Amino acid sequence: MRSSLVIGSRGSKLALAQAELIAVELRRINPEVELRLEIIKTTGDVRMDPLSAIGGKGVFTKELEDALLDKRIDIAVHSLKDLPSAIPASLQLTAICKREDARDALVLGRGFTYPQPSIRHLRSGAVVGTSSPRRTAQLKFLRPDLVIKDIRGNIDTRLRKLDEGQYEALVLAFAGLHRLSLEERISYIVPAMEILPAVGQGAIALETRTEDDWANELLAPADDRDTRLACTAERAFQKTLGAGCNLPIAAHAVVEGKQVRIDGLVTDPAGSSMVRDQLTGSTEDVEILGTRLARHLMGRGAHLLE
């Protein structure tokens, strides 16, 4: 009788913290299960070039999927926002765990204080660090007078560069800071109306082999209904815009009873133009809703922003 699973994770501090959260949940579901962690290096971990230069989505997930397909691991733990909308046919997202706050957070460097810390109150010319084209474009749209500089590395590395004075502020995911118990560094939680989160941001996805019935049954209770519905709508929005779409996109869906509301946008890379809207529909049609919103934005010229 099978009783063990190999969990695959990236080796960053955040990825390992997320893998540990999943291990705790799996032991809660089945205290008898034996778990082993396998650290997988991905392209995004090895190369420090801007993400847009090394392939964008998939650079933190492909090697984990390869390990699943090769049966070196049984579960791949992903930050859902890193996972492309299309996954291999023999793999599945068996669980999308309850979502953390999906919003972004502003982190000010030590020594920089504002009476009202926020994106809108940063001084003109302030240097803000981010590695995300989505954040960059929305920051430029909101505050074209800011200086946006690329920053790579794990959260500790980014905070160190911030505290050395290389940046005045960073914009990071609230979820990552929270999972690493770094909430005290958060100066301001950015409302979605200012910077719309990435598709799937704040959610942890567990990917398995479709044929692995035992693992799939074990993981099923870890799936959160509302999170899956919201993220399915967001991923349909992303998929409809197309894997070849190099424009910054963002989407965030919220389930309210039997209804889901999805807010989506597309911008040009410079953040000078933006097409944004939201739709509300039934939780029974979340994929259709995400697709409809993407087509609506395309009809308003989203595909012409390049």
For residue 70, pLDDT over 90 is answered with: yes
Cβ neighbours for 92, distance < 8 A, ≥ 6 positions apart: 207, 208, 209, 210, 216
Q: State the CB neighbour count (10 A cutoff) for residue 56.
A: 15
C-alpha to C-alpha distance for 262 and 292, rounded to whole angstroms: 10
Report residue 248 CA to chain centroid gap: 13
User: Is 70 a catalytic site residue?
Assistant: no
C-alpha to C-alpha distance for 87 and 196, rounded to whole angstroms: 24
Predicted confidence band of residue 113 (pLDDT cuts 50, 70, 90):
confident
For residue 156, pLDDT over 70 is answered with: yes
For residue 104, pLDDT over 60 is answered with: yes
What's the pTM value of the predicted model, to 2 decimals?
0.92
Q: Exactly one of 45, 70, 82, 263 is catalytic; which is it? A: 82
pLDDT for the residue 231: 98
pLDDT for the residue 47: 56
User: Half-sphere exposure (CA, 13 Å, Cβ side) for 258?
Assistant: 2
Predicted confidence band of residue 46 (pLDDT cuts 50, 70, 90):
low
Give the phi and the psi of residue 191 in degrees, each rounded to 5: -60, 150
pLDDT for the residue 88: 93
Domains delineated in the chain: 1-97+203-223 (3.40.190.10), 104-190 (3.40.190.10), 224-306 (3.30.160.40)
Per cent of the chain over pLDDT 90 is 83
pLDDT for the residue 59: 78
Residue 107 bridge partners (DSSP): 170
pLDDT for the residue 1: 65
155-163 helix and 13-29 helix, angle to the nearest 10 degrees: 140
Q: Express each pLDDT in 179-221 by its tens digit.
A: 999 999 999 999 999 999 999 999 999 999 999 999 999 999 9
**Looking at per-residue confidence, does 1 or 236 come out higher?**
236
Q: Express each pLDDT in 77-94 by its tens digit.
A: 999 999 998 899 999 999
As a whole number, the mean pLDDT across the chain is 92
Cβ neighbours for 217, distance < 8 A, ≥ 6 positions apart: none
CB of 186 closer than 8 Å to CB of 126: no
CB of 150 closer than 8 Å to CB of 158: no
For residue 114, pLDDT over 90 is answered with: no
The string of DSSP letters for 7-55 reads EEE-SSHHHHHHHHHHHHHHHHH-TT-EEEEEE---HHHH--S-HHHHT
